[in-house]
Amino acid sequence: MSGLFLGLDIGGSKCAVVLGEKHRCHNTLTIRAKEVFATGDFAGPQACLPQLCRVAEALLRQQQLLPADLAGIGISCGGPLDSRLRRIHSPPNLPGWDDVPIGEFLAQHFPCPAYLQNDANAGALAEWTWGAGRGCRNLLFLTFGTGLGAGIILDNRLYCGSNDQAGECGHFRLAQWGPVGFGKTGSFEGFCSGGGLAQMGQIRARALQQLGCPPDWCQQAQDLSAITAAQLAEYALRGDAEALEIFRCCGEYLGRGLALLVDLLNPECIIIGGIFARAEALLRPAMTKALQQESLPRSLACCRVVPAALQENIGDFAALAVACGEGLPEE
């Protein structure tokens, strides 16, 4: 389908409203207008949903368009949610968004279909349509940001599971002990997320401080809580041995987690966004070694692991990919 589409990317810190035009002939997308506002400025759905509509209507007016000109609306939001009923169910990053009928609300303002997907599923659709997964029949997209989740494309269609819970690979337990992620010690998200990397940095820095040889990136005990994944990556890229070891460990567990997905789903491509896209050189050697050790060779031979192509623009493309409605599960 070609035409004009509206994307709503709803996050815990900011919301983006994006107007895009899809061109059928080359399957390309042009961003025609975009506006961002802080979610906290319009706390709760009662304030935020009307603001989303006001911003969308303003963008349409700026482009001399009417709501009737839209072919579809896509909402990308953290889960849990119900994509069939278009309802948001209490995402951890959106306090107060409890059983929100966003599809029903938008239908009162715009005379076009509205579709809802979690952010990992939306990212999978975007990379499959316009990014690193173009031409693939089966692929996975992993977020690898604050948390870790997956969107799954199987046989040219998004797979959501029985109640939109498919792809929650961050909950896999990869080790009995380790950093906490998704409420579980030693989880895939614990080892492979921004929060997990920070925890590993804190654990290592505390141990080195107690031994009397603190790392350059955390000299004092009071600095432990300020450690971030970005800071660790900066030191690792400079050659800091302790920071490099943290990324080696992260890469190893990334490979172990991916091996489970490779053996289970046999994808052609695994696309990883967020931290992996920015720190691939630090993660890939250990990841590749673990993948080769843990995966079925025949399954791994047909699967490539690549960074997300849409990079920092993936949120915009993700919401618009949902709006286009292609590849969504049949209702």
User: What is the number of structural domains in the chain?
Assistant: 2
The answer on 144 and 243 residing in a single domain is yes
Q: Which residues contact 180 (CB under 8 A, 6 or more apart)?
A: 187, 190, 196, 199
Q: Which residues contact 205 (CB under 8 A, 6 or more apart)?
A: 214, 215, 217, 218, 223, 224, 227, 242
| Domain annotation covers residue 179 | yes
The answer on 317 and 302 residing in a single domain is no
Q: Which residues contact 298 (CB under 8 A, 6 or more apart)?
A: none
The answer on 183 and 67 residing in a single domain is no
The answer on 201 and 119 residing in a single domain is no
Structural domain range at position 68: 3-131+313-324
Per-residue CA distances from 170 to 32, 48, 51, 72, 275 (Å)? 35, 29, 32, 31, 15
Helices (H) and strands (E) counted in the chain, each on its own, are 11, 14
Strand 157-159's sheet: what is its strand order?
Answer: 157-159, 150-154, 139-142, 269-272, 304-307
The answer on 174 and 105 residing in a single domain is no
The answer on 223 and 104 residing in a single domain is no
Longest CA–CA separation in the chain, Å? 67
For every one of its 331 residues, what pLDDT tens digit does the chain have, with 9 covering 90 and above? Answer: 569 999 999 998 899 999 999 987 667 889 999 999 999 999 899 999 999 999 999 999 999 999 999 999 999 999 999 999 999 999 988 999 999 999 999 999 999 999 999 999 999 999 999 999 999 999 999 999 989 999 999 999 999 999 999 999 999 999 999 999 999 999 999 999 999 999 999 999 999 999 999 999 999 999 999 999 999 999 999 999 999 999 999 999 999 999 999 999 999 999 999 999 999 999 999 999 999 999 999 999 999 999 999 988 899 999 999 999 888 887 6
The answer on 156 and 116 residing in a single domain is no
| Domain annotation covers residue 331 | no
What whole-number distance in Å separates Cα of residue 279 and Cα of residue 28?
28
Amino acid (one-letter) located at 69: D
Q: DSSP secondary-structure letter at 213?
A: -
The answer on 289 and 319 residing in a single domain is no
| Domain annotation covers residue 21 | yes
The answer on 199 and 60 residing in a single domain is no
DSSP 68-130: GGEEEEEEEE-SSEETTTTEE---TTSTT--SB-HHHHHHTT-SS-EEEEEHHHHHHHHHHHH
The answer on 208 and 115 residing in a single domain is no
- Reference 252, options 287, 220, 279, 282; nearest CA is 287
Q: Which residues contact 82 (CB under 8 A, 6 or more apart)?
A: 89, 116, 163, 164
Question: What CATH number does the domain containing 243 carry?
Answer: 3.30.420.40
What whole-number distance in Å separates Cα of residue 215 and Cα of residue 142?
31
What pLDDT, on the 0 to 100 scale, is given for residue 2? Answer: 67
What whole-number distance in Å separates Cα of residue 187 and Cα of residue 172?
5
Q: Are strands 157-159 and 114-118 parallel, antiparallel or unpaired?
A: unpaired
**Residue 178 half-sphere exposure, CB side, CA atoms within 13 Å?**
23
- How many residues are present in the chain? 331
Q: Which two tokens stand for residue 113?
A: 């279909």
Q: Which residues contact 176 (CB under 8 A, 6 or more apart)?
A: 185, 186
What pLDDT, on the 0 to 100 scale, is given for residue 270? Answer: 98
The answer on 249 and 144 residing in a single domain is yes
